[in-house]
Structure 1
């Protein structure tokens, strides 16, 4: 139940992040989640933080500073990057908690876990949407409905079913390596389809975050 509600709160913060900053910056902020897992693991899973993992956390934070400190040329585009990054990091915290909580879920198949958590996430999102904006489908076009159904069925339901099934069959290091395809793809897509540009410092910041996260998840003592 807690992990399902965590997914709902995670979505709220993530989509708020997309409203206030670019897709690439929001995604890179969101992918600090593995770093938060590293920080929270000693408390939740009783694991020790090595010097290497501590340095990875510091490097990721340096990457965030590179991204935050280089937005002067984009202030006129309707963005509030600092707020967007704050939402992205908040989403990362809740996503990290979902990852940790799923380590304790036993006796359920991937599909069962997915259905249960998505239903609970929906129950949380329904009143939130009603309070903040309400449901108004009058302006939805046929194309929008097609995209909405595709996102709900394949990008969310099917993707989560694959993810939770993979957790049970693959080791954590393999899952960590494959997960980095997501932010790289998002950055490329945002540049190709939305024309979003990143400065050299933002690119360096993104590289620092991804590299530090990768090392933190895969380094062996």
Structure 2
């Protein structure tokens, strides 16, 4: 007999894989972004993701998604896989890392609000409290990373656009997962995003000819792991919980980025950065927890005495 908690554990494991891989993308984006322009980097990443996902679909003999899933796939592909990646790459070149982190982390809040409005998701107090704690942590991390670096109105607007398209893409993706598998939704969403970014193809070819091998390998890594694998595990977990709870889970990313930068790059975080990372993780824990009553399930009705 299957453990009734196993689906929850698998979904939590999938969410963990997602946030770890998205956090690992930080180093690769910094390396590849110095050699590739925003649109070319997005297209190269998506093409690597499409090739990887297409190979997996061929091995698993996955067919086309059902017609009911296509509206969500198209919208999430355009908004999240397409516009989001270009806007984020471009925005991070216009503002310092701290400002980008502050603005983009509005995304999970928008996901929760749009999920409640469009999908009818509940907004339990624990979710709201956890998101508030995590957002405070993200602000602390962002402030600690902000310096006297470049910053522009255009950069802030692009990061805000990234947050909005990210939220819209997630909310659009959720209904599609009720009709198609996580692999189908991710594969064809990635393909749609690649088509959206095709105007950058000439740029990609020219820049790839001049870029060092390390930058190109980082771009391929972004496509295979933080895109193909992480977006699939994200979709798997999203199909089994609300959009708001999944959005709140991504607040673990800033904390993991701090840790990975420390271990991989030797960038020792300050006290404010560490405190912000701890707050991010604490907020995620609160947002994903359940009250005792909810965990116990509905109480059985009391037996009534016959007359």
TM-score by length of structure 1 reads 0.70
Contact 2:135/2:251, CA 8 A, preserved across alignment = no
Match of 1:21 among 93, 96, 99: 96
User: Structure 2: any 5+ residue segments left out of the alignment?
Assistant: 1-73, 295-307
Task: For residue 49 of structure 1, report the CA deviation from its aligned partner.
Answer: 4.8
Moved more, 118-127 or 155-164: 155-164
Task: For residue 199 of structure 1, report the CA deviation from its aligned partner.
Answer: 5.1
Contact 1:63/1:207, CA 8 A, preserved across alignment = yes
Matched, 1:39 2:113: yes
For the pair shown, the structure with the greater C-alpha radius of gyration is: 2
Match of 2:241 among 171, 175, 195: 171
Contact 1:21/1:81, CA 8 A, preserved across alignment = no
Task: For residue 47 of structure 1, report the CA deviation from its aligned partner.
Answer: 4.5
Contact 1:68/1:81, CA 8 A, preserved across alignment = no
Report how many aligned residue pairs link the two structures: 213
Contact 2:104/2:160, CA 8 A, preserved across alignment = yes
Moved more, 97-106 or 80-89: 80-89
TM-score by length of structure 2 reads 0.54
Task: For residue 192 of structure 1, report the CA deviation from its aligned partner.
Answer: 4.0
| In structure 2, distance between residues paired with 1:71 and 1:28 | 10
User: Structure 1: any 5+ residue segments left out of the alignment?
Assistant: none
Contact 1:10/1:94, CA 8 A, preserved across alignment = yes
| In structure 1, distance between residues paired with 2:138 and 2:153 | 10
2:79 equivalent in structure 1: 6
Per-residue displacement from partner, 1:128-160 (whole Å, max 9, x unpaired)?
Answer: x36xx9232221233333333232123311222
Task: For residue 185 of structure 1, report the CA deviation from its aligned partner.
Answer: 2.0
Higher relative contact order (CA 8 A, sep 6+): 1
Contact 1:68/1:82, CA 8 A, preserved across alignment = no
| In structure 1, distance between residues paired with 2:112 and 2:261 | 28
| In structure 2, distance between residues paired with 1:208 and 1:65 | 10
Task: For residue 219 of structure 1, report the CA deviation from its aligned partner.
Answer: 5.7
1:134 equivalent in structure 2: 203
Alignment partner of 1:108: what SS? coil
Matched, 1:101 2:172: yes
Root mean square deviation, CA, Å: 3.8
| In structure 1, distance between residues paired with 2:282 and 2:273 | 14
Contact 1:38/1:216, CA 8 A, preserved across alignment = no
Match of 2:185 among 93, 96, 113: 113
Contact 1:33/1:95, CA 8 A, preserved across alignment = yes
| In structure 1, distance between residues paired with 2:107 and 2:241 | 18
Task: For residue 165 of structure 1, report the CA deviation from its aligned partner.
Answer: 2.7
